[in-house]
């Protein structure tokens, strides 16, 4: 049975990097006979320019029917003065909500070959292998809010942080199951010494963990976690946290891990899921053909693993990326003397040539 992938390149370098990843998927399809079909849809600033909305109905409809979505990146200075409700990032938030993408998975893995790109000292970072499990459709991102009101005689704005027991059960169950396939350790991150939401979060996670006696669960305050990620990232296996804390911690972890040009992500829903590199749309280098396609290619590998259950195909892609790096190929963002320089096209071709 054919598997239908909706490709949403978005803005900036989105077009180039998703094109590279699609080529890799096509090659894998030849090798593994998955039967992939592709369909391209607009989103972000490009879509806004095209039809006045960063997330056209037609894109949402296609995404809903897809077996999986491959997403590039959205955004750019060009749309800085557009009404906030129509800005490119609304495409991201809108898709998460419309598709119910309740988990954001952000693996940060630092093999020796990438450690030199980390701002951290090599002995601290080499060997890091953490999976951040971020709740993605709840919390303060989607709570009630007020842009402006008069309260006690002065103007104020507010946003409601909120979590329900079922929301926390769902995300922590996901984290427990993910840890069972890894090193059996879950760190739940909250601010339970201050926030009521965090106290509900913590007691619910503790409750869920009772069904997972093989999992070693601990709890960190978010400020301490921000410290520990820098001091000793190797201590972590799976980190599970709220939408807002996850936004901050997963970006911190990503840069500590070295090049953000190498970091994939998955946003998982009940019906379909979306895969995207964590780096942005990089308008400054868009159209030059020099963007690093690896994060998007590795996102495509996650797509095969999580949405299509094609673990063998996913492994092949990940190994091909490793092999290209081991051979000394580097895109400009990672290039140093002594290596072989590759543009987007070349890097993609090298990776394809390594697929066995």
Ligand X SMILES: CC(C)[C@H](C(=O)O)[C@@H](O)C(=O)O
Active site residue 80: no
Helix 57-65 vs helix 89-99: crossing angle, to nearest 10: 40
Active site residue 223: yes
Active site residue 191: yes
Q: Which of 247, 252, 333, 343 binds ligand X (CB under 6 A)?
A: 247
Indicate whether 194 belongs to the interface with ligand X (CB under 6 A).
yes
Indicate whether 355 belongs to the interface with ligand X (CB under 6 A).
no
* Burial of 129 (C-beta count, 10 Å sphere; 0-12/13-18/19+): middle
The torsion region of residue 46 among left (phi > 0), alpha (psi -120 to 50) and beta comes to: alpha
On whether the CB atoms of residues 44 and 88 are closer than 8 A, the answer is: yes
Give the interface with a second copy as residue ranges (CB under 8 A): 84, 87, 89, 93, 119-121, 124, 140-141, 143, 145-148, 151-152, 154-166, 191, 193-197, 199-201, 222-224, 226-227, 230-231, 244-245, 247-252, 254-256, 260
The torsion region of residue 351 among left (phi > 0), alpha (psi -120 to 50) and beta comes to: alpha
How far apart are the C-alpha atoms of 252 and 240, rounded to whole Å?
Answer: 15
Is the Cβ of residue 157 or residue 194 nearer to ligand X in the bound state?
194
Coil, strand, or helix at residue 39? strand
The most distant pair of C-alpha atoms in the chain lies apart, rounded to whole Å, by 69
- Binding segment for ligand X among 36-44, 85-93, 285-293, 313-321 (CB under 6 A)? 85-93
Residues 6+ apart with CB under 8 A from 113: 322, 325, 326
Is residue 287 marked as binding?
A: yes
Tell me which of ligand X, a second copy, none is bound by residue 147, counting a contact when its beta carbon lies within the kind-specific cut-off of 5 to 8 angstroms: a second copy
On whether the CB atoms of residues 303 and 275 are closer than 8 A, the answer is: yes
Is the Cβ of residue 21 or residue 137 nearer to a second copy in the bound state?
137
Distance between start and end Cα atoms, the chain: 23
Is the Cβ of residue 93 or residue 323 nearer to ligand X in the bound state?
93
- Which of the residues 267 through 326 are near ligand X (CB under 6 A)? none
Active site residue 343: no
Is residue 286 marked as binding?
A: yes
In DSSP terms, 189 is beta-bridged to: 220, 241
**Least distance (Å) from ligand X to the CB of residue 221?**
7
Indicate whether 93 belongs to the interface with ligand X (CB under 6 A).
yes
How many CA atoms, within 13 angstroms, populate the side-chain half-sphere of residue 227? 5
Residues 6+ apart with CB under 8 A from 308: 3, 34, 67, 68
**Least distance (Å) from ligand X to the CB of residue 180?**
26
Is residue 106 marked as binding?
A: yes
Is the Cβ of residue 262 or residue 351 nearer to ligand X in the bound state?
262
Indicate whether 84 belongs to the interface with ligand X (CB under 6 A).
no
How far apart are the C-alpha atoms of 264 and 2, rounded to whole Å?
Answer: 24
**Least distance (Å) from a second copy to the CB of residue 52?**
20
- Binding segment for ligand X among 1-9, 36-44, 89-97, 321-329 (CB under 6 A)? 89-97
304 phi and psi angles, rounded to 5 deg: -60, -40
Known binding-site residues for NAD(+) equal 280-292
Where along the sequence are the contacts to ligand X (CB under 6 A)? 89, 92-93, 193-194, 223, 247
Catalytic residue numbers read 141, 191, 223, 247, 251
Known binding-site residues equal 96, 106, 134, 223, 247, 251, 280-292
């Amino acid at each position: 049975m054919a598997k239908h992938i909706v490709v949403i390149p978005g803005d900036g370098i989105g077009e180039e990097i998703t094109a590279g990843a699609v080529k890799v998927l096509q090659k894998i399809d030849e090798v593994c006979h998955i039967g992939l079909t592709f369909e391209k849809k607009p989103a972000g600033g490009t879509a806004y320019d095209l039809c006045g909305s960063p997330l056209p109905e037609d894109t949402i409809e296609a995404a809903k029917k897809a077996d999986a979505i491959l997403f590039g990146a959205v955004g750019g200075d060009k749309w800085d003065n557009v009404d906030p409700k129509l800005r490119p990032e609304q495409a991201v938030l809108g898709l998460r909500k419309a598709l119910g993408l309740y988990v954001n998975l952000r693996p940060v893995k630092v093999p020796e070959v990438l450690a030199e790109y980390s701002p951290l000292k090599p002995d601290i970072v080499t060997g890091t292998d953490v999976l951040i499990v971020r709740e993605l459709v709840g919390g303060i991102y989607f709570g009630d809010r007020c842009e402006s009101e008069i309260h006690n005689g002065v103007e104020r704005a507010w946003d409601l942080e909120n979590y329900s027991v079922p929301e926390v059960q769902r995300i922590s169950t996901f984290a427990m199951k993910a840890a069972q396939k890894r090193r059996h350790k879950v760190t739940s991150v909250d601010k339970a010494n201050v926030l009521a939401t965090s106290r509900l979060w913590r007691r619910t996670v503790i409750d869920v963990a009772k069904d997972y006696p093989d999992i070693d669960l601990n709890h960190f305050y978010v400020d301490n976690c921000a410290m520990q990620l820098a001091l000793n990232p190797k201590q972590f296996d799976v980190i599970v946290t709220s939408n807002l804390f996850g936004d901050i911690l997963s970006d911190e972890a990503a840069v500590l891990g070295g090049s953000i040009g190498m970091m994939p992500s998955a946003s998982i829903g009940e019906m379909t899921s979306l895969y995207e590199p964590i780096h942005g749309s990089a308008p400054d280098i868009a159209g030059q053909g020099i963007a690093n396609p690896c994060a998007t290619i590795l996102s495509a590998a996650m797509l095969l693993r999580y949405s299509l259950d094609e673990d063998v195909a996913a492994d092949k892609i990940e190994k091909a990326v490793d092999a290209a790096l081991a051979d000394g190929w580097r895109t400009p963002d990672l290039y140093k003397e002594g290596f072989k320089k590759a543009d987007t096209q070349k890097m993609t071709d090298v990776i394809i040539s390594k697929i066995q």
